[in-house]
């Protein structure tokens, strides 16, 4: 039973990481495309990817980041 929970936790973390990184990359690329053209889309998409990778490491980091804006 413990092994199943560990596998489930890893699977959820993988899905979480893919979702956060994809969303951050999409937001960066779309903002860059709208305001700076394709060069901005590539540059801000890369920035979004890096930011998403940092935020995907731990849910508490993302929650702390969101609460700091309030």
Q: Output the pLDDT for position 70.
A: 59
Q: What is the pLDDT of residues 1-57, one digit of tens each?
A: 888 999 998 898 899 999 999 999 999 999 999 999 999 999 999 999 999 998 888
Residue labelled with tokens 């990817």: 49
pTM for the model stands at 0.81
């Amino acid at each position: 039973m413990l092994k199943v929970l560990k596998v489930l936790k890893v699977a959820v973390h993988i899905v979480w990481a893919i979702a956060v990184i994809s969303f951050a990359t999409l937001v960066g690329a779309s903002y860059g495309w709208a305001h700076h053209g394709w060069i901005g889309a590539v540059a801000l998409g890369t920035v979004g990817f890096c930011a998403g990778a940092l935020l995907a490491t731990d849910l508490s980091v993302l929650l702390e980041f969101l609460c700091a804006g309030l």
